[in-house]
């Protein structure tokens, strides 16, 4: 095994840190993982620095174990690697790169005032999870750490800096820190000047350009693994410095790469702890609170519908049902239980028989809720069966996403020629795929590698940097080198499924005041 002919992608997702090693044919040959959960500490969704460090090291050690068991070699190097992580949020550092606050994740909905004011100022939708919204909200609250602020980055940028010493970020992830000018392929200078003017009287000795990471495009070099970085990642001392790094990206950008969705009129839906749709557009749509404008890893404009909540409530119910299965002596693992229950949803009525579920573990920007309360409800005449119950939860996981997508495809007339799904929601063959097709009313494809998700996409970006031909675009590389012979399945929901989802969504929208009342009173 020639380790120099492999590439490594590492991604810190919401519930799992995963590393994927690819060979020269872009086929996954080894992997490692570490499960973790965010914490709600004093009203802030966060992961501690100890969680981050320990989780990444355990994941890499697990990858080393897998390589050793499969190939009989010690993982000492790779041809190239890259880091990805859950998007955006707030990670401020002082001059010496010491954190100034806890990591405030994408899940937090504490920046409503800042997001609203910046959207009005810039004429550009600024979502609550974006780094600039967190920064300005901290200013509005006059948080004491701000005078010491020297660096602002994301989780992906933080890990990349730890490993390479470089304060840089891929353009797709950077576009969730501050708006990007897709012509100049950098932060929007006009908007940055407006922000600097807004805060000029606050007396800080920095401007926005001073604290943000430098923007890089897919295919550009983003530094090399340092000796300190190698020791941090692999305390056992086997990993050698000098490995070239691709620009760090967020899970949105790696999802686009993993599903070959970087060309205009292509899109992907990532569905796991959160769900989001990424549609590469030919022209910029109008300003909508429900639509975020970001970019591909190569800088092309992307319309994004992001929802904070997707499978967390499903996971909680499956956990309880697993406990019941154990109590009655049923010998079925959690993986088998997921497969059984997801397939049961196909037996449910198309509109879930009158059952209703809100999967809001946290706040949801698309429906303008700053907090969440998971809620299951039914009328006295609703048909409570296991199939209807599971289908209600699977449709609930997509309902908010559908509300945002309707703005794009309806009001803005955005064309989508191909939509690809990936993430845990699609792990059971055919089920999540059919539900998404019913939601969007168009065919949905799922690739054989869909389960690999973000770390696979990050490894592909490292491969593009390492193995692309001179002048070859990311779109061309993915089309011709990676996915030319890729296996995928495409499924179109039948008319009954589509009509059933519409009926469920109408009931869902009508009942949103019930969810609001639960937030106010529970």
CB 419 within 8 A of CB 269: yes
Percent of the chain with pLDDT over 90: 81
Measured CA to CA, the distance from residue 472 to residue 165 in angstroms comes to: 28
Length of the chain: 522
Beta bridge partners of 304: 278, 292
Helix 512-521 with 495-510: angle, nearest 10 deg: 40
- pLDDT score of 285: 82
Q: Let me know whether 234 and 272 are in one domain.
A: no
Q: Let me know whether 181 and 245 are in one domain.
A: yes
Domain closes at, from 220, 250, 280: 250
**479 inside domain:** no
Q: What is the pLDDT of residues 236-277, one digit of tens each?
A: 999 999 999 999 999 889 989 998 999 999 999 988 888 889
Query: Does the pLDDT value for residue 65 go beyond 90?
Result: yes
Q: Please, which pLDDT band fits residue 109 given cuts at 50, 70 and 90?
A: confident
Query: Does the pLDDT value for residue 48 go beyond 60?
Result: yes
| Residue 151 or residue 259, greater confidence | 151
- pLDDT score of 1: 83
Q: Let me know whether 89 and 225 are in one domain.
A: yes
CB 306 within 8 A of CB 431: no
**Residue 148 DSSP class:** G
CB 250 within 8 A of CB 270: no
Q: Let me know whether 147 and 290 are in one domain.
A: no
Q: What is the pLDDT of residues 292-340, one digit of tens each?
A: 899 999 999 999 998 989 999 999 999 999 999 999 999 898 889 999 9
Q: Let me know whether 187 and 297 are in one domain.
A: no
Q: What is the mean pLDDT of residues 365-391?
A: 94
Q: Let me know whether 217 and 313 are in one domain.
A: no
Q: Range with the lowest mean pLDDT among 109-123, 241-255, 480-494?
A: 480-494
Q: How many domains does the chain have?
A: 2
3-state secondary structure 87-136: CCCEEEECCCCCECCCCECCCCCCCHHHHHHHHHHHCCCCCCCCHHHHHH
The helix/strand/coil state of 497 is: helix
Q: What is the pLDDT of residues 186-226, one digit of tens each?
A: 999 999 999 999 999 988 989 999 999 999 999 999 999 99
Q: DSSP letters along 195-223, please?
A: HHHHTGGG--S--HHHHSPEEE-TTS---
Q: Let me know whether 124 and 181 are in one domain.
A: yes
Query: Does the pLDDT value for residue 451 go beyond 60?
Result: no
Q: Let me know whether 219 and 286 are in one domain.
A: no
Q: Which of 21, 20, 49, 24 is CA-nearest to residue 36?
A: 49
Distances (CA, A) of 304 to 17, 267, 270, 278, 349: 23, 10, 11, 5, 30
Distance, C-alpha 396 to centroid of its chain: 19
**Which tokens belong to 513?**
């005041």
Q: Range with the lowest mean pLDDT among 36-40, 178-182, 427-431, 485-489?
A: 485-489
Give the chain's mean pLDDT: 94
Q: What is the mean pLDDT of residues 14-28?
A: 94
Q: Please, which pLDDT band fits residue 452 given cuts at 50, 70 and 90?
A: low
**425 inside domain:** yes
Q: Taking the alpha carbons of 313, 314, 319, 320 in that order, is the dihedral positive or negative?
A: positive
Distances (CA, A) of 17 to 46, 62, 345, 453, 515: 15, 11, 29, 12, 32
Q: What is the mean pLDDT of residues 415-430?
A: 88
Domain closes at, from 201, 217, 250: 250
**484 inside domain:** no
**488 inside domain:** no
- Count the Cβ atoms, other than its own, within 10 Å of residue 467: 16
User: pTM for the complete prediction?
Assistant: 0.84
**Which tokens belong to 149?**
């602020």
**459 inside domain:** no
CATH number, domain with residue 34: 3.30.420.40
Query: Does the pLDDT value for residue 288 go beyond 90?
Result: no
Measured CA to CA, the distance from residue 497 to residue 351 in angstroms comes to: 8
Return the half-sphere exposure (C-beta side, CA atoms, 13 A cut-off) of residue 229. Answer: 23
Q: Please, which pLDDT band fits residue 415 given cuts at 50, 70 and 90?
A: confident
**475 inside domain:** no
Task: Pick left, alpha or beta for residue 430 (phi over 0 → left; psi -120 to 50 → alpha; otherwise beta).
Answer: left
Q: Let me know whether 311 and 353 are in one domain.
A: yes
**290 inside domain:** yes
Measured CA to CA, the distance from residue 297 to residue 317 in angstroms comes to: 36
Q: Let me know whether 441 and 308 are in one domain.
A: yes
- pLDDT score of 175: 96
Q: Taking the alpha carbons of 180, 183, 186, 188 in that order, is the dihedral positive or negative?
A: negative
Q: Let me know whether 147 and 234 are in one domain.
A: yes
- pLDDT score of 449: 63
- Count the Cβ atoms, other than its own, within 10 Å of residue 102: 17
Q: Please, which pLDDT band fits residue 467 given cuts at 50, 70 and 90?
A: very high
Domain closes at, from 218, 250, 282: 250
Measured CA to CA, the distance from residue 225 to residue 497 in angstroms comes to: 50
Query: Does the pLDDT value for residue 450 go beyond 70?
Result: no
Residue-number span of the structural domain to which 506 is assigned: 260-449+493-522
Measured CA to CA, the distance from residue 373 to residue 384 in angstroms comes to: 21
**187 inside domain:** yes
- pLDDT score of 282: 86
Q: Let me know whether 222 and 319 are in one domain.
A: no
Angle at 469 between CA 464 and CA 475, to 5 degrees: 55
Measured CA to CA, the distance from residue 171 to residue 185 in angstroms comes to: 8
């Amino acid at each position: 095994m020639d380790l120099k002919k492999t590439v490594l992608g590492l991604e810190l997702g919401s519930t799992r840190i995963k590393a994927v090693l690819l060979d020269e044919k872009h086929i996954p040959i080894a992997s490692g993982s570490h499960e973790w959960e965010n914490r709600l500490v004093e009203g802030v969704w966060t992961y501690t620095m100890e969680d981050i460090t320990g989780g990444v090291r355990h994941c890499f050690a697990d990858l080393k174990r897998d390589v050793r068991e499969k190939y009989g070699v010690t993982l000492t190097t790779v041809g190239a690697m890259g880091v990805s992580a859950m998007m955006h949020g707030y990670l401020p550092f002082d001059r010496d790169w010491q954190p100034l606050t806890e990591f405030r994740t994408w899940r937090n909905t504490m920046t409503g005032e800042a997001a609203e004011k910046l959207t009005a100022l810039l004429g550009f939708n600024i979502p609550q999870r974006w780094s600039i919204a967190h920064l300005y909200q901290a200013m509005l609250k006059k948080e004491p750490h701000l005078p010491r602020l020297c660096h602002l980055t994301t989780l992906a940028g933080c890990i990349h800096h730890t490993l390479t010493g470089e304060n840089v970020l891929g353009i797709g992830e950077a576009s969730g820190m501050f708006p990007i000018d897709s012509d100049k392929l950098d932060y929007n200078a006009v908007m940055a000047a407006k922000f600097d003017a807004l805060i000029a009287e606050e007396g800080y000795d920095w401007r926005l350009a001073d604290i943000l990471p430098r923007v890089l495009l897919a295919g550009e070099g983003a530094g090399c693994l340092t000796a300190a970085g190698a020791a941090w990642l692999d305390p056992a001392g086997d990993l050698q410095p000098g490995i070239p790094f691709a620009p760090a990206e967020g899970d949105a950008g790696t999802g686009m790469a993993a599903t070959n969705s970087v060309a205009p009129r292509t899109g992907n839906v990532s569905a796991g702890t959160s769900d989001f749709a990424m549609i590469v557009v030919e022209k910029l749509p109008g300003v909508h609170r429900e639509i975020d404008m970001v970019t591909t890893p190569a800088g092309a404009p992307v319309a994004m519908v992001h929802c904070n909540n997707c499978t967390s409530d499903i996971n909680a119910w499956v956990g309880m049902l697993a406990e019941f299965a154990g109590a009655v002596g049923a010998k079925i693992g959690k993986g088998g239980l997921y497969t059984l229950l997801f397939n049961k949803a196909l037996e449910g009525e198309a509109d879930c028989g009158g059952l209703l579920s809100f999967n809001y573990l946290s706040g949801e920007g698309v429906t303008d809720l700053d907090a969440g309360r998971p809620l299951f409800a039914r009328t006295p005449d609703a048909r409570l069966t296991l199939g209807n119950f599971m289908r209600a939860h699977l449709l609930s996981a997509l309902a908010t996403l559908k509300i945002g997508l309707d703005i794009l495809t309806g009001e803005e007339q955005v064309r989508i020629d191909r939509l690809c799904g990936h993430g845990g929601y699609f792990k059971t063959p055919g089920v999540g795929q059919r539900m998404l097709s019913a939601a969007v009313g168009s065919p949905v494809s799922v690739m054989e590698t869909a389960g690999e998700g973000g770390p696979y996409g990050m490894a592909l970006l490292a491969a593009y940097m390492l193995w692309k031909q001179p002048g070859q675009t990311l779109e061309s590389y993915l089309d011709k080198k990676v996915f030319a012979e890729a296996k995928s399945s495409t499924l179109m929901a039948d008319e009954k499924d589509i009509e059933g989802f519409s009926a469920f969504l109408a009931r869902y929208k009508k009942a949103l005041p019930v969810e609001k009342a639960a937030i106010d009173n529970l």
